[in-house]
Structures are given as structure tokens and as C-alpha cells.
Structure 1
Amino acid sequence: MKLILYSKPGCHLCEGLQEKLTQVQSVSIDLEIRDITTRDDWFQAYQYEIPVLIWQRDRPDSPPALIPLPRLSPRAGVAQLEALLQKALAAA
């Protein structure tokens, strides 16, 4: 599962989500971190929303689908994050 995490330096919510993503074991994750301060279009889109987690679902005959995943509470545990990811995969 290819995930994109929109983040910025010093964002504790972003760091917490990134740490939880590294602990997920039930889903294989390829994680790309995008620092919104490096591109103006990312900054404009996500400056008030980070952390934003996007599933990049590859499709054989067309460009990848970029599917925003629901935002979890910062207090959500790894098990809740795994459940969210499994639900997304099941709905695909």
C-alpha cells in the first residue's frame, strides 16, 4: 500500500502519525513523506490540514488514484490505524 503523508517540520501530529505508520504490521506500507514547505501548491492545499494521509492506488491502465484517508484522532492507536488501512483496502 503506497501512502503519502503531507507534513512539515516541527508538526508533532505529523510525527506521531509517521511513528504509528512505522509500527503497522498487518499491512505492507510504502510511505512517502512530503514536506509541504518545499512546494507552494502543497503548502496552499494542506497548511491547515496536516497531517494528511493519501493512498496512492495504482491502476494498470490509467494514472494512480489519490484517495485521501479519513483523519484519525491523535490519540488513536496503531490498531485503529491498521483497521483504517484494512478498511480502505477492502473497499477498493
Structure 2
Amino acid sequence: MYTHSCPRVCLEPFATLVNDHTQPGGGKYLFCIVNREDPVCTVPPRTVDQIADYPFVHVGGAWKLTEDGPYKMNDEPPPVDPQSIINIIWNVKNH
């Protein structure tokens, strides 16, 4: 399955189940394509202070497209401060 720039959509138990069933070698794959600084992937926000309020996570298979070429991302990036409103508006062109 291919997705493009998905927000965090599920809780950890479901993400683990999806990841367990889409590992390479089983004939089932999951790819999420992220274009440069696309803000959609940071929704809902997940800062260190917000983990309890927004426990949603990504499922695995994320690849980020950059000017230097694609690279495999961590399945769930560590918590970071969300982009500012100005940066979200500026980076919407990457979506």
C-alpha cells in the first residue's frame, strides 16, 4: 500500500499490528511518501508536552523525499515542536 503524506492516525497497539503485518518478506508492504517539509505529517502535533493529549502515531514505512534524494525515516519520529503557523503556510507547497 502506498500513501502520501499522512497524518498520525492511530494509537500504538494498532500501529504495531499494522507494522507486524506489513514487514518486508511477507509479500505485503506499506510505504508512506513524505515530501520535504510537508506539514500534514505533523498533525496532530506531538511535542513532548502533548504526548498524553495526542497519543496518535504513524504506521511504519515512511520515506522522505529531499533535494538529496529519498531516505528511510524512523517509523515514528521523536516528539518535536510543531511547525509555526507561518512555516505551515510556507511549507504547504510541499504537500
* TM-score (normalizing by structure 2): 0.28
Q: Going by fraction, where is helix more abundant, 1 or 2?
A: 1
* Structure that is richer in strand per residue: 1
